[in-house]
Amino acid sequence: MNIVLLGYGKMGKAIEQIAQERGHHIAGRIDISNRADLDHLADDAVDVVIEFSSPEAAVDNIRYSLERGWPVVSGTTGWLNHRADIEALCHEKNGAFFYASNYSIGVNLFFQLNKVLASFMRKYPSYRVSMTEIHHTEKKDAPSGTAITLAEGIMEHLPQKTRWVTDTPATDNEVAIESLREGTVPGTHTVRYDSDVDRIEITHTAHSRQGFALGAVIAAEWLPGRQGLFGMNDLLSSNEPVNNE
């Protein structure tokens, strides 16, 4: 499979390594310094684009790829206020767009665990829910896309919670997210429920970028030949086998 990498930082390089190990060809490695090289690629020379760039570049990157007819797997966060426009373009072009705030298989299991716990806690309003996310100092957006997805899962099952807030005291209808940036931390997310007598916590800790990169490559292997909007739930619930080795 011919893959174009849009964004060639640490994540792009991790994806490249795994893609090549799995027998794929990297048709282009694009970052801010060589963006014009995309125009020299033939439409049929690209099977799928994997986009991990920056919040500022993501929308243009995704739009360009969909207009060229290339399926897009995107993991960039911090641009989702434009998501409706991208989804409309995908439908207009009969394209394929796969988005996830986090491609780690473990994190997506954690998302489900978070929802189950929230559904249990619905009956116990004495517990106050909050969240902490820790990432490396180079991460530009806060809170992380993963933290936002966790907050959305909580709000889905705790109707009294209608919005999330970051780095500020939360009211009774808000989910507080604390965002910390430390060293080279790949990603740690903790959801906690505090009462006057005890605390319940669940935590996911990433040891490296490899889990995120592997999930993105698996999504890129799955997406070509499909049309529409997809996410990790579609991939994980698919009847097709997923080679996560």
Q: pTM of the entire structure? A: 0.76
pLDDT, tens only, 20-49: 999 999 999 999 899 899 999 999 999 999
Given the structure tokens 């060229």, which residue do they identify? 68
139 is catalytic: yes
Q: Which of 24, 135, 161, 189 is catalytic?
A: 135
* Domains in the chain, CATH or no CATH each: 2-103+209-237 (3.40.50.720), 105-205 (3.30.360.10)
Cα→Cα distances 118→56, 121, 123, 157, 217, Å:
33, 5, 10, 6, 31
Question: Is there a binding annotation on residue 149?
Answer: no
Consult the annotation and say whether 8 binds a ligand.
Answer: no
73 contacts 51 by C-beta, under 8 angstroms: yes
Alpha helix segments (H runs only) across 122-222: 145-157, 210-222
Query: What would the pLDDT profile of 108-127 be if each residue is shown by its tens digit?
Result: 999 999 999 999 999 999 99
Among candidate residues 183, 186, 158, 192, the one with its CA nearest the CA of residue 172? 158
Confidence of residue 95 (pLDDT cuts 50, 70, 90): very high
| 103 among annotated binding-site residues | yes
